[in-house]
Amino acid sequence: MSGFAITLDAILAIMVAGLVVTASMQMLSSKEYKTDDYLLRYSYDFLAVAEKSGVLDEAIAGNISNAKAFVESVPESMCVELELYDSSWERLYHEQNYRGQNHLCKDPESFTMASRVILYDDKAYPTTLQLWYK
């Protein structure tokens, strides 16, 4: 009878340990993102999509209409400022979504900045994106 009790005790201990591990993993995987973390991820995603879709290549080549539309597609709750530079850090292109009276972007007390280097015709073009909430 004592062998049965020890086996039953071991099985229950393994089940409890499994539940604790499962609950811990669930809590760790459901992390709440802070606002700044969300902005940082959004800004890196914005630059990655802009590069892969060819929008930044077109802006470097001089066709700015798609880049302007891309910047304007940012959600209305966010303000964005996109800048493209040549290899000597001279600004080639600048776009923002807060010009005019209908845009209520204030000077940011805090903002997120992401950067990426775009390769176009074997030349490097640094790109920066500043993003903040209205």
* Contact present, 83 and 127 (Cβ < 8 Å): yes
Take residue 103 and report the two structure tokens written for it: 């845009």
In terms of Cα–Cα distance, which of 68, 126, 120 is closest to 92? 126
* Helix then strand then coil, % of the chain, to nearest 5: 45, 25, 30
pTM: 0.67
Q: Looking at 1-134, which runs of residues are DSSP E strands?
A: 78-85, 91-96, 112-120, 123-133
Q: How do the pLDDT tens digits run along the chain, 134 residues long?
A: 677 778 888 888 888 877 777 766 676 665 444 457 888 899 999 999 999 999 999 999 988 888 888 888 888 888 888 999 988 889 999 988 775 555 567 666 778 889 999 999 889 999 999 988 87
Task: State whether CATH 1.10.10 applies to domain 35-133.
Answer: no
- Give the other-Cβ count within 10 Å of 75's Cβ: 10
Tokens standing for residue 72: 């304007």
Question: What distance in Å separates the CA atoms of residue 34 and residue 82, rounded to the nearest whole number?
Answer: 23
